Amino acid sequence: MDVVEVNRPSHPEGPLAQTISGVLSISYHDNQLKHAFGILDSMGRSINERSIRSTVETSIIKASKRALDDFEHTYEGLKALGLKVKTLVDKWTKVNAILTNSTNATSSIVSEARRLHHEQTVLQKKLATANAFSETFVVSEREMNVLQNSSLPIDEEFYSALAKVKQMNESCALILADSPSAGEHIMSQTKKCLDHAYDKLKYAVESDLRSLDNAKSSSSVRSQIALLADRPLLLREILSNLADVRRKQLSNDFMNALSNKNMAEKPLDYYMFDPVRYVGAVLAWVHSAIVNEYEYLSTLIDPEVTLTSKLSDTLFADKDSDGILLEVIDTITGVLNQPLRLRIGQLISTQSKVIMVDEIASIIGFYRSMMAKYDQKTLNQGFDQLDLALNAQFDRCLLLELQAAYREKLDQHLQPPEFWVSSLATAKSIVKSYEQSMTYNPAGDETFRTRIGKVLDPFYKQCVKLSESVESPKGHIFTLNCLDILKVSLAGFVCTTWKTEEADEAMRKIVDQLVETEYQTLLDESGLETERFSRFEQFLQSVATETMKRQQLLLSPQIAKEIAARATEKFLDKYKEFASSDGAPYTLNEVRIMLQ
């Protein structure tokens, strides 16, 4: 039986089929489809599915009605707004016409107002220029009187007027630089005012300084001196007059401090019985006076304000601000140079002890270094002369002691002579003073080495001469003792290492000679080379005692042991040559034990 195939259309036909196809073609994920299905689902639960179409259409109609109602209100609002806009346009047209007519009517008035405003601006500028000129280049009668009348006090009004005139003078100088014919009258007027004002300042400062002492410092004087920096000649004259006044006062104070018995404290001359204390007290007073003068002048003169710029370009071109101040102080304190030099110089000339002269030199060096920062040229010249006097007196004292040393004889026990012990004590004192000085150098400076050489070398040469007056080994022992006590005296001082090294070198040479002498003595007393062993046993019995007698003259037990040990070793080396032969009474070790 044949099967009849029915050809189905590939696409559904009819509006319903198309609608269904369109619905089915929509993706499930479409939000609108989900929303529609949700609405249909909710409607399908409450009503019959056959009334869905009518319900949907009813809802659409109601929604359309609400939209039309809302649009009607919007339309009415737009219509009313259009009427208002039209009314505003009409009003603006009227106002514009009125303004146009008003502008045409007031144009001449506006032009006149602009012209008047421009003229007002020009007049204001001219007035400001006139006021500025008046303030800058016109000195009032009141200001002229304040600057020139010496009976009026120097106060803030004076300072203000002076500053104004100075500014006027500088401004006129600038004008004259561009136009020589401009400002000449004002320039001459201001110059006259300034001259009178600075003269008034000068006399006022000099009057104040005469009544001013160390106990009070006037800020007004300080300000007045600062203003005088513009007139270096006047300031120089004031400083010179001030220095003269202070010199006289300082000289009187110094003489009173030296000898016035009415003072609360004892006069400085009271301590003259102790030269070192006296020199220290006098120099301490001088140092205190320098410090006081520096502080006093610093309260009156501000170096950073007064002694800079203009001054450094004129009278003080080769000095800085502090150097100018120190120059004035040097002028003041220079009055102390002569009495200080005479007093201390006379004291130095009376000294007969080298130690005392050195102590005075040390105290002078200490205070000189303390005063160094004040750059006192005049006092330094006096100190230089005192140094020469000290060196001369130092040499004279040494010469006297050396002349006394020539008269001393050699001690029978070969002990260092008294003059050598005294010179070592002097050297030790000099070293201690040098270590405490501000110029201390661990290696010892040239001046220090020269002084130590002066104290020790001539006396050591005299010791050598004494040692040459006796036969060896006594002379060597005496010299060795002198060198040994030198090492002991200078031990512990770093700055004398060079001297102790020289002594060590000389001692080594002498010890070598004494070792050789002791060795020859052992050979001679033992008869080892001449008589072989005939009196060797007797020699061994007495050798220790005889060696001790010879070495007991040495001050240093260590050196004595060293000499004995080295001489013994040399003797044993010689004995070794004979010990191998027949007839030697003792072995080498036995002899070594007996010799120790």
Q: Is residue 1 one of the residues assigned to a domain?
A: no
Q: What does pTM read for this prediction?
A: 0.64
Is residue 567 within 8 A of residue 519, CB to CB? The reply is yes
Q: What domain range is 447 assigned to? A: 408-595
Contact 435, 464 (CB under 8 A): no
Same domain, yes or no: 484 and 558 = yes
Residues 472 and 485: beta-carbon distance below 8 Å: no
The residues near 80 (Cβ < 8 Å, ≥ 6 apart) are: none
Alpha-carbon gap, residue 465 to 456, rounded angstroms = 14
Give, for all 596 residues of the chain, the pLDDT tens digit: 444 343 444 445 566 677 777 766 766 566 776 777 777 666 655 556 556 677 778 888 888 888 888 888 888 888 889 889 989 998 999 898 888 888 877 877 888 888 888 888 888 877 776 666 656 556 666 776 666 676 777 777 777 777 777 767 666 666 655 555 555 666 676 777 777 777 888 888 777 777 765 545 567 777 777 777 778 888 888 888 888 888 998 998 888 888 876 656 788 888 888 899 999 999 999 999 999 988 888 887 766 655 554 444 444 545 556 777 888 889 899 999 999 999 999 999 998 888 899 899 989 988 998 888 888 889 999 999 999 999 999 999 989 888 888 888 888 888 999 999 999 999 998 888 888 877 777 777 788 888 888 899 999 999 999 988 888 888 899 999 999 999 999 888 888 888 999 999 999 999 999 999 888 888 877 776 666 666 676 677 677 777 788 788 888 889 988 988 898 888 888 777 776 665 666 667 777 777 76
User: Phi-psi category of 7—alpha, beta or left, where left has phi over 0 and alpha has psi -120 to 50?
Assistant: beta
Structural domain count of the chain: 3
Residues 424, 342 share a domain = no
427 and 362 fall within a common domain? no
Tokens of 56: 């949907």
Domain-terminating residue out of 79, 110, 137: 137
Contacts of 424 (CB under 8 A, 6+ apart): 456, 485, 486, 489, 490
Q: Is the same domain home to 445 and 376?
A: no
- Alpha carbon separation from 261 to 21, 68, 93, 256, 286 (Å, rounded): 143, 132, 116, 8, 19
User: Per residue, what are the HEC states of 346-369?
Assistant: HHHHCCCCHHHHHHHHHHHHHHHH
User: What is the Cα–Cα distance from 77 to 172, expressed in whole angstroms?
Assistant: 81
Q: Is residue 4 assigned to a domain?
A: no
Q: Which amino acid is at 119?
A: E
460 & 567 share domain:
yes
* Residue where one domain finishes, among candidates 113, 137, 161: 137
Q: What is the largest CA-CA distance in the chain?
A: 181
Among residues 353, 426, 422, the alpha carbon closest in space to that of 390 is found at: 353
d(CA 455, CA 449) in angstroms, rounded, equals: 10
The number of beta carbons lying within 10 Å of the beta carbon of residue 262 is 6
Domain boundary among 137, 170, 196: 137
Same structural domain, 378 and 420? no
- Whether residue 516 contacts residue 553, with contact meaning beta carbons closer than 8 Å, is answered with no
573 in a structural domain: yes
Do 254 and 285 lie in one domain? The reply is yes
Q: Closest Cα to residue 205, out of 246, 234, 247, 164?
A: 234
* Same domain assignment for residues 276 and 333: yes
**Is residue 428 domain-shared with residue 360, that is, in the same domain?**
no
Specify whether 379 is located in the same domain as 416: no
In a domain, 229, yes or no: no
**Residue at 311: amino acid letter:** L
Give the chain's length: 596
Nearest to 558 by CA among 480, 470, 498: 480
In sequence order, what DSSP letters do the residues of 514-575 get, joined into one string? HHHHHHHHHHHHHTTTTTTTTTHHHHHHHHHHHHHHHHTT-S-HHHHHHHHHHHHHHHHHHH
In a domain, 518, yes or no: yes
Are the beta carbons of 483 and 510 closer than 8 angstroms?
yes
Q: How buried is 277 (Cβ within 10 angstroms: 0-12 exposed, 13-18 middle, 19+ buried)?
A: middle
The whole-number pLDDT of residue 135 equals 61
Q: Are 268 and 278 in contact (CB under 8 A)?
A: yes
Q: Tell whether omega for the bond before 303 is within 30 degrees of 0, i.e. cis.
A: no
Tokens of 91: 């009003």
Let me know if residue 401 belongs to a domain.
no
Residue 506 lies inside a defined structural domain of this protein: yes
What 8-state DSSP symbol labels residue 29? T
Q: Are residues 384 and 508 in the same domain?
A: no
Q: Is residue 9 part of a domain?
A: no
Do 328 and 402 form a contact (C-beta atoms < 8 A)? Answer: no
Same domain, 449 and 354: no
pLDDT at 82: 87
3-state secondary structure at position 277: helix
